[in-house]
Structure 1
Amino acid sequence: MPLSANNPDRTTWLEVAPNSDFPIQNIPFGVFLTRDDIITIGTRIGDFAIDLGAMHQLGYFEGIDLTDDIFLQDSLNDFISDGRKTWRLVRNRISEVFEANNPKLRDNMEHRDVIIFTMEEIEMQLPVSIGDYTDFYSSKEHATNVGSMFRDPEKALLPNWLHIPVGYHGRSSSIIPSGINVRRPKGQTLPPDSDEPVFGPSKRVDFELEMAFITTDANHLGEPIPVDEAEDYIFGLVLFNDWSARDIQKWEYVPLGPFLAKNFASSISPWIVTLDALQPFKVDGPEPEKPQLPYLQYTGPKSYDINLEVYLQPEDSEPHKVSTSNFKYMYWNMAQQLAHHTVNGCNVVSGDMMGSGTISGPTPDSYGSMLELSWAGKNPLQLPDGSTRSFIEDNDTVILKGYCQNDQVRIGFGECRTKLLPALK
């Protein structure tokens, strides 16, 4: 099925700024509350939110096999379950309706009043009900940096790292949308030069710059997904800040990995940008440094050129960019991650979320965490207001941004913004 929604020459009758993350070629999906406190599934063009439930009720998806309530829900799970054919038909139709020369909705003010909202009139929600969440550890630069800090730099990568996409099962209940504040977590830590742990607020709260992909119903229990078919089951991507408490993690992670250090909160951007919209930005990833087993070997480009930025904003100050990275740096790509996740027969369902792991680039200004940017606190960052940061302090706001851009179109994710509040007393 052609991806007519991706036509770079298409323009819209809505007013869209030239540098918008959400041109008519994007058409992401999300969930929001309208000005009448009605929850609906929608999309976004420029700074306008579009109520797909109202569009469907008014007949704009005629000819597409959709249930009456497909967009009148508080999550995208059922829509995602309908599969890629439905996603493409809906995106293509939205693109046609909002195309500059199509008068059907453009000239119907009565319909426009119930379908189109400004972003100030709505409240974004978590876009999917996330049943399961897996976090990978797939940036070679990040894994090398962390291994160099805490182990022999000559053996920074553990023996398995170049052979498998390392991952762990995370906590889905504490995944929140952009704009929701988080509390500094408490837990056990081991003070320097002490043999006994203490309990209290984490002193080393950190952001982790990640992307995450959302799956559809992919396989039955016991059936693996071939690596070259994996992208057929990926609906789209979001920005992902996988908050971490480094001091809690250091004490607890042996032998079973992260627990309280990670499960207190993870933040995602509210608009899911479809894999279809990102097709013009597919690129080759890093070359394997060791032969990979057949089930991880793939054909064609499987990485995506997504520019990523992190801003740190102290209270009463302006945001300051602390990192510039790119999703294409990932050593293990999404197709390999999903193939590995299911090679043992694990079943994946609609709304499952897979985090990429921290995305660090090859230079210090491209590192994806404060742990790396400050090198475990040894080299604090200097901020424009005169303050310094080794880790995230109370009332700091962390902002992630991401976008793809070529000479024809820019496709972006908006932002993932979260403020860290003090720990509860």
Structure 2
Amino acid sequence: MRCWVEGAAGSAYDVDNLPYGVFTVTSSGDDERPRVGVRIGDRVLDVAPVAAAEMLDVHDVFARDSLNPLMAEGPATWASVRTWLTGLLTDEHERDLVEPHLLPLDEVTLRLPFEVADYVDFYCSLQHATNVGRIFRPDGEALLPNWRHLPVGYHGRAGTVVVSGTPIRRPTGQGRPSGVSAGSTSGRPAFGPSRRLDIEAELGFVVGTPTALGESVPTGAFADHVFGVTPLNDWSARDIQAWEYVPLGPFLGKSFATSVSAWVTPLAALEAARVPLPGQDPEPLDYLRVDEPAGYDIAFEVLLNGEVVSRPPYAAMYWSPAQMLAHMTVNGASLRTGDLFASGTVSGDEREQRGSFLELSWGGTEPFGDGRTFLEDGDEVTLRATAPGALGGRLALGEVTGRVEPAG
């Protein structure tokens, strides 16, 4: 299983990772068609010509400008392609065929790796939901009565999902009238650029295999439908959100941008990262019951202008991704190839494990780091995530970076 690609063996992008992306060669101009690549070490394998040379049955999916055709092939093809790629990169006899198609990472331009069909964002961290409830509803219950019975979520905007590196323009919208309490209906709303722009460190799940309308997906079929994962930043305008979210939940405070990594890590790469859930009380309804281990040991880092300000642990999440998918489809809602659903903010028990600035600054009242609360123009936020790999090291799930630009 030792990879022959220089520098790849033992790295965070060894053969037990093999994330997929879509790229063009930077020096070739705008005429080049994007195609599928696989990262190995600090190189990108241009898969299409190798697959064509070996007459792979599905070779044409690697010459496409998104991962959707590959994802639509289903789990049997995902597994066989992964086995084939592993063989190419560990068998010295394949080196002459493969090596000419290995491109340095700094010579390619990465694109949004899949066409987003639909986007749903969940709210699955007990710690995050409790913190937000205490901040937004200081005189009420932190958790609403339904929270421990179902994975709460909202439907986002697929068209505003962008790839890492895309600048994020500060959104404009309505906010609560100045000096007016949360429960009051008096006063004229404020309008202007958000002054409480925030991030949320999340894990996104990318659907490959679709379903028919009226069909639900049981928790045990999670891996039959989910192709892979990507770190995700759910940018949030907290002042807009606080004014609009009652009674129907997030809307403009969330819909202006969601950033994902340029790499999608196959679900199969995370087998060594599976861990039991921290415990669910009360016991979920039958359709939400899962076989353990249903959680994932994924460690996040949140960097603000290059400095780590938080380390959220995904292993602390209350609801599992299999439960998210089961709940999302239990009413018969269909899945489409390219659907994206996200975990909601990942937060832990300690302050330094909170996955949003809303929590880190406790609603702007407790500055963190060098006196920060919410995002300023010019700030750059990067999310990193790693997980245990099958070869004993840690896999990198790809970074997500965005820089805040002034409102238009």
How high is the TM-score relative to the length of structure 2?
0.94
- Going from structure 1 to structure 2, the CA distance change for 1:292 and 1:48 (only over 3 Å counts) comes to same
- Going from structure 1 to structure 2, the CA distance change for 1:207 and 1:179 (only over 3 Å counts) comes to same
CA contact (8 A) 2:309 2:369 kept: no
* CA offsets 1:238-267 (integer angstroms, 9 cap, x no match): 000000000001111111111111111010
Counterpart of 1:50? 45
User: Equivalent residues in 2 for 1:200-349 (5 A)?
Assistant: 200-313=192-305, 319-349=306-336
In 1, the alpha carbon distance for the partners of 2:155 and 2:326 equals 16
Question: Aligned-pair RMSD on alpha carbons?
Answer: 1.5
Q: Which amino acid aligns with 1:187?
A: G
2:38 aligned counterpart, secondary structure: strand
Mean CA deviation greater in 115-124 or 211-220: 211-220
In 1, the alpha carbon distance for the partners of 2:222 and 2:96 equals 42
Mean CA deviation greater in 122-131 or 404-413: 404-413
**Matched length:** 397
2:311 aligned counterpart, secondary structure: strand
Q: Tell me the percent identity.
A: 42
How far 1:19 sits from its partner (Å)? Answer: 6.4
User: Equivalent residues in 2 for 1:344-383 (5 A)?
Assistant: 344-383=331-370
How far 1:153 sits from its partner (Å)? Answer: 6.7
How far 1:192 sits from its partner (Å)? Answer: 3.2
Counterpart of 2:93? 103
* CA offsets 1:208-258 (integer angstroms, 9 cap, x no match): 000000012242111111111122211100000000000001111111111
Counterpart of 2:104? 118
Q: Which amino acid aligns with 2:397?
A: F
Q: Which amino acid aligns with 2:266?
A: T
In 1, the alpha carbon distance for the partners of 2:9 and 2:83 equals 21
- Specify which of 74, 79, 88 is matched with residue 83 of structure 1: 74
* CA offsets 1:189-213 (integer angstroms, 9 cap, x no match): 1243142112110000000000000
1:135 aligned counterpart, secondary structure: strand
1:414 aligned counterpart, secondary structure: coil
In 2, the alpha carbon distance for the partners of 1:376 and 1:335 equals 31
Q: Which amino acid aligns with 2:379?
A: D
The runs of at least 4 consecutive aligned structure 1 residues that moved more than 4 Å come to none
In 1, the alpha carbon distance for the partners of 2:92 and 2:307 equals 42
Counterpart of 2:386? 403
Mean CA deviation greater in 412-421 or 204-213: 412-421
1:403 aligned counterpart, secondary structure: strand
In 2, the alpha carbon distance for the partners of 1:310 and 1:152 equals 27
1:402 aligned counterpart, secondary structure: strand
CA contact (8 A) 2:277 2:315 kept: yes
* CA offsets 1:282-330 (integer angstroms, 9 cap, x no match): 10012111121100011121111011110000xxxxx110110121111
CA contact (8 A) 2:270 2:388 kept: no
CA contact (8 A) 2:272 2:388 kept: no
In 2, the alpha carbon distance for the partners of 1:186 and 1:19 equals 46
Instruction: Tell me whether 1:69 sits opposite 2:55 in the alignment.
Output: no
In 2, the alpha carbon distance for the partners of 1:173 and 1:210 equals 18
Instruction: Tell me whether 1:414 sits opposite 2:401 in the alignment.
Output: no
In 1, the alpha carbon distance for the partners of 2:346 and 2:6 equals 34
CA contact (8 A) 1:16 1:45 kept: no
How far 1:11 sits from its partner (Å)? Answer: 1.4
* CA offsets 1:27-76 (integer angstroms, 9 cap, x no match): 111111124333111100010011111212222xx4x431x521111111
